[in-house]
Chain A
Amino acid sequence: GAVVSQHPSRVICKSGTSVKIECRSLDFQATTMFWYRQFPKKSLMLMATSNEGSKATYEQGVEKDKFLINHASLTLSTLTVTSAHPEDSSFYICSATDRKATNEKLFFGSGTQLSVL
């Protein structure tokens, strides 16, 4: 089945630094990728839709200058948390859909646990 690789799986950083998270579709092309944020024991909150070759679409309340998304190719999207603060600590998950697939199933990365000290 389709595989989405997310890296790193865990990152600890100091307040004020920036952190980049990568999301790759390994065996399919993904025109669109999605970035979610998840707090402990809570549901996934959609942050933004990443479109290959164009600007990301952010959900209401998500700061686009804080969470920079780049989708430079059909297999790679990156999320950069800029000037991270402790309140940005969370579990971030990406997902992608195979553009050749006819169903609407999403494939998820394994997530990135971000801890900002």
Chain B
Amino acid sequence: SQQGEEDPQALSIQEGENATMNCSYKTSINNLQWYRQNSGRGLVHLILIRSNEREKHSGRLRVTLDTSKKSSSLLITASRAADTASYFCATDSGGYNKLIFGAGTRLAVHP
């Protein structure tokens, strides 16, 4: 069953602004991943953070993980119109490589 909750459900910003998306989960994890999905397409892996890590960076992406609060955040800095997509967090709570996805955040970046 789906266990992740993400907020906000939808986010609309202007180009150049930062976008922050949050994800909460319910059970213990080994890692948490963030994926991006363009409308009607498959998912693309963005970043993976392990349970013993607190923060990770990849280009304009910054992910934090707070295992005590069972939450994670994804920050996209200096957003671009091309960042418009849905973003999902996923945990390995289902077992090895068996990902459980959050509800997702639909991000719209306006030029």
A residues sitting closer than 8 Å to B (CB atoms) are 4, 6, 32, 34, 36, 41-46, 49, 59-60, 91, 93, 95, 97, 103-111, 113
Q: Chain B interface: which size bin?
A: 20 to 34
Q: Is the CB of A111 within 8 A of B42?
A: yes
Q: Which residues of B contact A91 (CB under 8 A)?
A: 40
Residue-wise, chain B 59-102 has the 8 Å CB interface mask toward A (1 for contact) of 00000000000000000000000000000100010101111111
Q: Can you list 14 contacts pairing A with B, beta carbon distance less than 8 Å?
A: A6-B42, A34-B99, A41-B106, A44-B101, A46-B94, A46-B101, A59-B1, A104-B30, A104-B48, A104-B97, A106-B97, A106-B99, A111-B40, A111-B41
In angstroms, Cα B31 to Cα A99, docked, is 18
Residue-wise, chain B 23-46 has the 8 Å CB interface mask toward A (1 for contact) of 000000011010100001111110
In angstroms, Cα B44 to Cα A109, docked, is 9
B residues sitting closer than 8 Å to A (CB atoms) are 1-2, 4, 30-31, 33, 35, 40-45, 48, 88, 92, 94, 96-104, 106
Q: Which residues of B contact A107 (CB under 8 A)?
A: 45
Q: Which residues of A contact B33 (CB under 8 A)?
A: 104-106
Q: Is the CB of B103 within 8 A of A42?
A: yes
In angstroms, Cα B74 to Cα A49, docked, is 28
Q: Using A104-B92, A105-B48 as known contacts, say yes or no to A93 and B1 having CB atoms under 8 A apart.
A: no
